Structure 1
Amino acid sequence: MDLKDVDLNLLLVFSELLKQRRASRVAETLGISQPGVSNALNRLRKLLGDELFLRTSRGMEPTPYAQQLAEPISYALSTIHSTLNQQVKFDPMTSKRAFTIAMTDIGEIYILPTLTGLLEKIAPGVTISTVRNATVNLRDEMEAGRVDLAVGWIPDMKTGFMQRRILRHSYVCLFRKGHALDKGTLTREEFCAAKHVVVVSAGSGHGVADETMKRSGVERDIRLVVPHFVAVGHILHETDLVATVPERFAERCAEPFGLSYVPCPVPLPEIAINLFWHTKYQRDPGNRWLRELLFETFSE
């Protein structure tokens, strides 16, 4: 097939159908009629020799061949768009852009207070929304541009994405000040004998610590299991429970909740925290500005 035989507008229709799955939505997005969408799809079917999309109760479902074409066509269109708009500048002082970042609750606790303070000074019109890594189809949302960046330990975020290391998490034991274990060090025996609260944080890498303890034969007296870190400070302040948490979380919670922490006596692997973005937005000025700000502010 020769490139001169391919109408770029057909590829735009193809790309939007992959995202929207309905011809009416594609027509609205591209500013053309619904028959125009159907005509473009028919031309592309004839050109490529495949049905590409099949009508189902869930909308227009891509064929295996269409799925095979999806990423390279999306990347090619993104490259063309970036090239044509590379002179566009992002001015944080005047921008009203709304960014969405996927992160866990511990990411919110560690990152958002500092980031919000920075934005008030250097980008007063910029707003930030967060979503949980585990509550959305992160790959699709980032490819579509509905989520700009993701922060965390996300091992399956590879093809089509770029990443940059921000920091590593090491683990400590966190408890209230005046606790019997509040003496600067903690033995493995004392750790096992203590009463524990365990955080099962979906979409994060913290489950690795629990798995490591199980493999090492560490048996804890677990009295409470919670699905997130938000309540941990309140719980520890009011009880004699102990929590094994990332050190940066402990740094944020210790003073406000009257807590102390010591190194965890059980060897646990460090968790790498990376910043992710889709290759489509590698050269987007606003996306680039925000990820550079996060890296410069929080990287080790």
Structure 2
Amino acid sequence: MAQQKQFDVNLLRVFLAVCRTGSYTLAAEELDLTQPSVSNAITRFKAVIGEELFVRAGRNIKPTAMANYLYEQLNDSFTNIEQTISGLEGFDPITSERQFVILAGDVVTHFLQPALEEIVKDLPIEIIFREPPDYDEDIMEKLYQEQADLVIDMQLPMDLRFEKQLIMSETPVCVVRKNHPRIGDEISWDEYFDERHVVIKMRRFNLTAVDLLTDEVLPTRKVHSIKSSLLTAFDTISAGEAISVSPKRYVEDYLEMFNLKLVQPPFKMRNIEIEMVWKRKHNKNPAHIWLRDKICEVVGNSI
């Protein structure tokens, strides 16, 4: 009896990467292969399947109905296999020269980066913090394409490709200059809306921080200026009479530097829930587990 030719599992890996990225070039970058190698692998996989898998759509490629069917049937199973295998791999922080990339804004970076740098200062490991893109789909695409190991931010979108863990819950407070001529230790509703505001614009949501954190329909505020960075907001507040909102623990570290004081908001605001998100395939990856554990350790020690 003729022996059946052994199937090359690497063809499946290339096929799934091309489906995910919609590009031979991007799949080649993801898999650290050349573009001709990817094209050759798809040709070989097409010969195994016996049907066309991708067709040209302008400069891009588009999966056929058969390719979509195979992707839906095979992707989760293949991811689970990779996840299981990666969970068996060892990771030693003493000898590993691993570089981790974390996407996080200035508040999270302020809390985590100094403590994590202290943890790895005598290790060959490097942890790099980068600003996340402005839009959710770009943030999650970077995570999916493994251009980042983790994203730490608020209200991140979710689907079955990712895992999510709440790691920080920050209290929002009003911030004003310490010797503000009209605002003492408390502020009323009318006083709050009589003042001019330094608005923190949340580009991802196209909302201000205040609007994002309250269910109330608030009156229109008098805008002093619009900022995307809290530090520039603090500097503006310290030099004038404007008011703004900040996570309490974050601004507490800058009260003396900017001559600021905290006041409780005159309306109910939700806590700022900060989550850590990672690609599900790394659930059992020892290196990723080590990184997530260290982050949770730092957050636990800072509360």
TM-score normalised per structure 2: 0.81
Equivalent residue number for residue 130 of structure 1? 130
Where 1:294 maps in the other structure, the secondary structure is helix
Shift of 1:274: 0.9
Equivalent residue number for residue 107 of structure 2? 106
Where 2:169 maps in the other structure, the secondary structure is strand
Quick one: structure 1 residues 280 and 97, their matched pair in 2 at CA, closer, same or farther if it must change by over 3 Å? same
Contact (CA 8 Å) 1:170, 1:270: kept in 2 or not? yes
- Matches of 1:201 and 1:247, distance apart in 2: 18
Say whether 1:275 aligns with 2:251.
no
Equivalent residue number for residue 253 of structure 1? 254
Task: Give the residue type in structure 2 aligned to 1:26.
Answer: A
Contact (CA 8 Å) 2:202, 2:208: kept in 1 or not? yes
Identity %: 24
Shift of 1:281: 1.2
- Matches of 1:184 and 1:24, distance apart in 2: 56
Contact (CA 8 Å) 2:11, 2:42: kept in 1 or not? yes
Task: Give the residue type in structure 1 aligned to 2:98.
Answer: R
Corresponding residue pairs, total: 295
Contact (CA 8 Å) 2:171, 2:247: kept in 1 or not? yes
Task: Give the residue type in structure 2 aligned to 1:154.
Answer: Q
5+ residue gaps, structure 2, are none
Task: Give the residue type in structure 2 aligned to 1:21.
Answer: S
Q: How does 1:170-249 map to 2 (within 5 A)?
A: 170-180=171-181, 183-203=184-204, 207=208, 209-210=210-211, 215-249=216-250
Equivalent residue number for residue 140 of structure 1? 141
* C-alpha RMSD over aligned residues: 3.3
Quick one: structure 1 residues 218 and 11, their matched pair in 2 at CA, closer, same or farther if it must change by over 3 Å? same
Quick one: structure 1 residues 150 and 37, their matched pair in 2 at CA, closer, same or farther if it must change by over 3 Å? closer
Shift of 1:183: 2.8
Shift of 1:236: 1.5
Contact (CA 8 Å) 1:96, 1:125: kept in 2 or not? yes
Q: How does 1:46-57 map to 2 (within 5 A)?
A: 47-48=48-49, 51-57=52-58
Equivalent residue number for residue 95 of structure 1? 96
Q: How does 1:75-90 map to 2 (within 5 A)?
A: 75-90=76-91
Where 1:231 maps in the other structure, the secondary structure is helix
TM-score normalised per structure 1: 0.82
Contact (CA 8 Å) 1:23, 1:38: kept in 2 or not? no
Contact (CA 8 Å) 1:110, 1:248: kept in 2 or not? no
1:6-62 alpha-carbon deviations (Å, 9 max, x no partner): 54222112123233712696399465883x644532343355565332234544343
Task: Give the residue type in structure 1 aligned to 2:23.
Answer: R
Shift of 1:245: 1.8
Shift of 1:206: 6.8
Contact (CA 8 Å) 1:152, 1:274: kept in 2 or not? yes
